[in-house]
Amino acid sequence: MRKNILYIIGAFVGGLSGFIYWKYVGCLTGTCKITSSPMNSTLYFAMMGSLFFGMFKKQKKYGS
């Protein structure tokens, strides 16, 4: 759990951002696949947040 804390925080921040984006900006016509529903928007942004925060995780160096 501790090793993946950045991924978890990123998913939480991204999911919250996705929900807020859907709430205030969203797609009113329903033609947008991601932002037309709160579930899609929240999950997509959670995944993107997790990947983004994961970029800052330090890697262990093996070998020399």
Give residue-wise pLDDT tens across range 9-19: 999 999 999 99
Tell which wins on pLDDT, 53 or 57: 53
Specify if 10 maps to a domain.
yes
CA nearest neighbour of 26 among 15, 43, 38, 14: 38
**Residue-range definition of the domain harbouring residue 17:** 2-54
Specify if 61 maps to a domain.
no
Distance between CA atoms of residues 54 and 59, nearest Å: 11
The number of domains in the chain is 1
pLDDT band at 41; cut points 50, 70, 90: very high
pLDDT band at 3; cut points 50, 70, 90: confident
Specify if 62 maps to a domain.
no
pLDDT band at 63; cut points 50, 70, 90: low
DSSP 53: H
Q: Which two tokens stand for residue 13?
A: 């921040």
pTM: 0.82
